[in-house]
Amino acid sequence: MGQTPSVAISPATWWRLPLLALLLLLAAQAPAQSADGFSAGGSQQCLGCHDFGPDSPVHPMLESPHGQADNPDTPMANRGCESCHGPSAGHAGAPTQVAPGISFGPRWTAAKNSQDGQCLACHQDKPVGHWDSAPHNQADITCVTCHDIHQMPDKVLASSSQTEVCTVCHKVQRDGVHGLASHRDNNPACTSCHSPHDAQPVVATALETRSEGCRTCHDLTAMANEPTVSDKARSYHKVMVREDRSCLDCHQGIAHGPADAVPPMVPTAVASKEVNLFFPGQSDSEWLLGIHPGSQPLRHGASCQQCHRGDEARMGSDLAGDFRPATRAVQVSVGRSGNTLEVQLAWAGPPDDADIALLWGDSQTPTIQRAGCFAACHSDMPGMSRDRGQDTGKYLLASRAQQQAIGRPALLKDAGELRALQDAGQYGELWRVKLQGEASGRIESAVLLSQPVWHEASTLTGSANYRDGRWQVVLRRPMAGSEGQRALLENDTYTFGIALHGSDNPGGKHWVSLPQTLGFQGDDTDFKAE
């Protein structure tokens, strides 16, 4: 027999052997995939991670109509999980680094049209045949904003829990039909009157359903024969047998109050109005974009105002606990004097309020557009949920290459990347007025990206005075841009948030506004400076 030839390995190459072995091992373990990017292991490979116990959300989905593998029309009978989540072999191989083909959050979020497209691929007919024209669609609401197929029953499809989903945004309906909170549990489902998947008005829905929502409580036959009802009303109720009549022919604006009795869903530009700030203002960006019920619309471009406009007093009451006052009102007035923007802030309060600040952004800072001051609030800051003594200051998410998470440190982008972001206008402009001590009356501004960088030569000027229990702050800023101060253009829209710090607010707690918008023309912003 011949001898196996020996191979000499020089000491200089020994270090490569463990690395080679590791690469071979990883190659052997890498998940197989088809040419089009789907995982060869299918749903079983997904379940290897996502079926982490009896509380895993995969179980309700597998028991739902979507999960019936014996029905050839269901996702599970075709590509399984990837029928909805798209080709995800890359995600299966590196689940913490690569997103699924179509992600629905919270860690990654596919574009709105990509998410909705997965649903509309099957759900093309009623009730979503006119989704393109639906106000919900135009307001950046996606299918999964309201629907959760990993929860059974899907709350928005169950009449007993549907209102719980709808009133996340439609706050005025929380008190029930006619404002009768005591009868709220017996109210009809919202969709008995409203059509959320198209632009069909309530009147048309009432004709289509024969006033189903009203008839949940009101018996038309009994009313037509009720002796205490006037002859005129009895006659009108008898007409309801006709298919071209509905309760709304006579009874409009009474189900949830007249239109002018609730906060508007969109702003109307004014030069001055009262803005309510609520306590404690500690909703960090990570929670808002990941766990908050409104995280989907936020990730797709909606503003906090879309759901919470006019709801500041209730939020303050719910969030402040025993702390008082839960809300504080600031009168905000804007105007122009030549090429200078002037902002006036006036509020009642104690003489020891510490400072008031405004954070500004524009279309280059989408997180500020959506969340105002909350765009600079994060879980790793002092007093927050992931505070580990890092003494992290305010920053914008755009400045981080990687956010802090379990097993992952926060990684800051390098100086060149940060400079490029600032040159592109992707920074916040922070104004602050000190109200106490030797610094009382000091007005300063900063560039906010990876941290606040305060200007030594700011063009922001103004004054601060306290008299008869009220603070009066006036701020002036040239509309022309300078280093760290963006130019204010007449045809653009700007977003600002207001934060007020009291003398004894503990650990980062303060009164904060929802994002406010300012323009110099048109009527679709909260404020207009003329």
- Write out the DSSP string of 368-392: HHHHGGGGG--TTSTTSTT-SS---
Q: What is the pLDDT of residues 56-98, one digit of tens each?
A: 888 899 999 999 999 999 999 999 999 999 999 999 999 988 9
* Residue 182: alpha-carbon gap to chain centroid: 31
Amino acid at 361: G
Report how far residue 322's alpha carbon sits from residue 522's, in angstroms, rounded to the nearest whole number.
42
More confident: 77 or 482? 77
Contact 206, 213 (CB under 8 A): yes
Query: Is 70 exceeded by the pLDDT of residue 257?
Result: no
Query: Is 60 exceeded by the pLDDT of residue 55?
Result: yes
**Residues in CB range of 90: below 8 A, 6 or more apart:** 33, 37, 98
Q: What is the pLDDT of residues 201-249, one digit of tens each?
A: 888 888 888 888 888 888 877 877 788 888 888 887 878 878 888 888 8
The predicted model gives 444-456 an average pLDDT of: 93
DSSP per position, 59-96 = HHHHTSGGG-TTSTTSGGGTTTHHHHH---HHHHHSTT
423 band by pLDDT with thresholds 50, 70 and 90: very high
* DSSP H helix total and E strand total for the chain: 19, 15
CA atoms within 13 A of residue 103's CA, in its CB half-sphere: 18
Q: What is the pLDDT of residues 430-447, one digit of tens each?
A: 999 999 988 888 999 999
pTM attached to this predicted model = 0.80
The predicted model gives 494-506 an average pLDDT of: 90
Q: Residue 11: helix, strand or coil by DSSP?
A: helix
Contact 245, 239 (CB under 8 A): yes
Report how far residue 358's alpha carbon sits from residue 381's, in angstroms, rounded to the nearest whole number.
19
Q: What is the pLDDT of residues 21-42, one digit of tens each?
A: 443 444 444 455 565 899 988 8
Q: Which residue has the tokens 């574009």?
A: 111
How many of the other CB atoms lie within 10 Å of CB of 480? 11
Q: Hey, what domains does the chain have and what are their CATH numbers?
A: 41-124 (no CATH), 162-249 (no CATH), 272-528 (2.60.40)
Helical (H) or strand (E) element with 135:
helix 135-138
CA atoms within 13 A of residue 84's CA, in its CB half-sphere: 23
Question: Exposed, middle or buried, 210 (CB in 10 Å: 0-12/13-18/19+)?
Answer: middle
Structure tokens at 81: 């999980």
Q: What is the pLDDT of residues 116-138, one digit of tens each?
A: 999 999 998 877 888 998 999 98
The predicted model gives 3-9 an average pLDDT of: 47
Query: Is 90 exceeded by the pLDDT of residue 151?
Result: no
How many of the other CB atoms lie within 10 Å of CB of 54? 6
Structure tokens at 234: 């009895």
pLDDT, position 295: 86
More confident: 449 or 295? 449
Alpha-helical (H) ranges within 300-338 are: 305-308, 312-319
Sign (positive or negative) of CA dihedral 67, 68, 70, 72: negative
Report how far residue 356's alpha carbon sits from residue 277's, in angstroms, rounded to the nearest whole number.
11
Helical (H) or strand (E) element with 447:
strand 443-448
pLDDT, position 31: 52
Report how far residue 169's alpha carbon sits from residue 152's, in angstroms, rounded to the nearest whole number.
22
Q: What is the pLDDT of residues 360-413, one digit of tens each?
A: 999 999 999 999 999 999 988 888 888 777 788 899 999 999 877 666 778 899
Report how far residue 192's alpha carbon sits from residue 427's, in angstroms, rounded to the nearest whole number.
46
Structure tokens at 175: 């008190």
The predicted model gives 249-264 an average pLDDT of: 73
- What percent of the chain shows pLDDT beyond 90? 49
Report how far residue 344's alpha carbon sits from residue 473's, in angstroms, rounded to the nearest whole number.
6
Query: Is 70 exceeded by the pLDDT of residue 1?
Result: no
Q: How far is CA 176 from CA 190, 217, 332, 483, in A?
A: 10, 13, 33, 53
pLDDT, position 97: 85
How many Å is the maximal CA-CA distance in the chain?
117
Q: What is the pLDDT of residues 310-358, one digit of tens each?
A: 889 989 999 999 999 999 999 999 999 999 999 999 999 999 999 999 9
Q: What is the pLDDT of residues 159-201, one digit of tens each?
A: 889 988 998 888 777 878 887 878 888 888 898 888 899 988 8
Query: Is 70 exceeded by the pLDDT of residue 108?
Result: yes
Q: How far is CA 228 from CA 223, 233, 237, in A?
A: 9, 10, 14
